Amino acid sequence: MAFGHFSDDEVHESADINVTPLVDVMLVLLIVFMITMPVLTHSIPLTLPTAANPAQQAEPTSPLRLSIGAEGQYKLGDQTLSLVQLQNDLHLKVQANPDVVLAIAADKHVAYDYVAQVLAAARDAGLVKVGFVTEDK
């Protein structure tokens, strides 16, 4: 390793690069990659469902659209219902078609209690497919 010396008539600079910080960074990166690689290659065993033959698959039905007004009015389709009537109607729809889908469109100012009551009524009726209708901005 060459070192420069100071003299009045000639100045020599050292042309060597200090590689110690580079080695430190590379060792830290090596340790990070050694720790994260087993996490990235770890997999969780899953048993995924298989798709049914399209010829055997039933036609999808349109979902039941339930609207909940700002004051808690329930409207299934075109008719306004009370909570008890709604639960009975949902129970009849599930008996007719177990794969029925309920789409809930709630006003953004409705109290959550009304939505929770509908979800409980849907669960009690046996509905397993429930979705929420939103609007895009």
pLDDT at site 53: 65
Domain boundaries, the chain: 64-133
Whole-prediction pTM value? 0.55
pLDDT at site 29: 95
- Give me the tens of pLDDT residue by residue for the chain, a chain 137 residues long: 555 555 555 666 777 888 899 999 999 999 998 888 877 776 677 777 776 665 555 555 778 898 998 888 899 888 888 889 999 999 998 898 888 888 988 888 888 899 999 999 999 988 888 888 888 77
Contact 99/129 with Cβ under 8 angstroms? yes
Q: Mind giving me the DSSP string for 27-58? A: HHHHHHHHHHHHHHH------PPPPPPTTTSP
pLDDT at site 56: 57
pLDDT at site 46: 72
Phi/psi zone of residue 123: left (φ > 0), alpha (ψ -120 to 50 degrees), beta? alpha
**Sign of the alpha-carbon torsion through 73, 105, 128, 61:** positive
Contacts 24+ apart (CB under 8 A), 77-85: 83/117, 83/118, 83/121
User: What length is written for the chain?
Assistant: 137
Q: Is CATH 3.30.420.270 the classification given to domain 64-133?
A: yes
